[in-house]
Amino acid sequence: MITNPFTFKVLDVSTGHVTRDDSVMLDTNSDIGPAPVYWMQEYGWMVYVGEIEENWPAEDWSPAFVKIMKVAQELGCDYVRIDRDGREYPEFERFDW
């Protein structure tokens, strides 16, 4: 057994909660953004939360995406997993694209 493991807290969210524009930005942000975005093949992304205003400025992202990141931060999450099979929440807006 490992003692004192270092673990991450992750919020699991459906891709249906982000806009198509957000998805395009996430695909390109893995190369250009200040915060890590890891592309999970065709299924979604693992996104580092960090400082919302610095990493995910409201002028670049949809209000729906910024809300997800802020909720994750409030919950103490390190990452958000945005996945096609991720969980849907009534608190988040739903997009069909």
Tell me the average confidence (pLDDT) per consecutive run of 10 residues in the chain, 97 residues long.
92 97 82 68 88 87 95 96 96 95
Query: ∠ CA(80), CA(38), CA(46), 5° rounding?
Result: 15
Torsion sign over Cα 9, 63, 92, 95: negative
Q: What is the pLDDT of residue 54?
A: 86
- The per-residue pLDDT for 33 is 59
Size (the chain), residues: 97
The predicted pLDDT at position 55 comes to: 84
- Please state the separation of Cα 76 from the chain's center in Å: 13
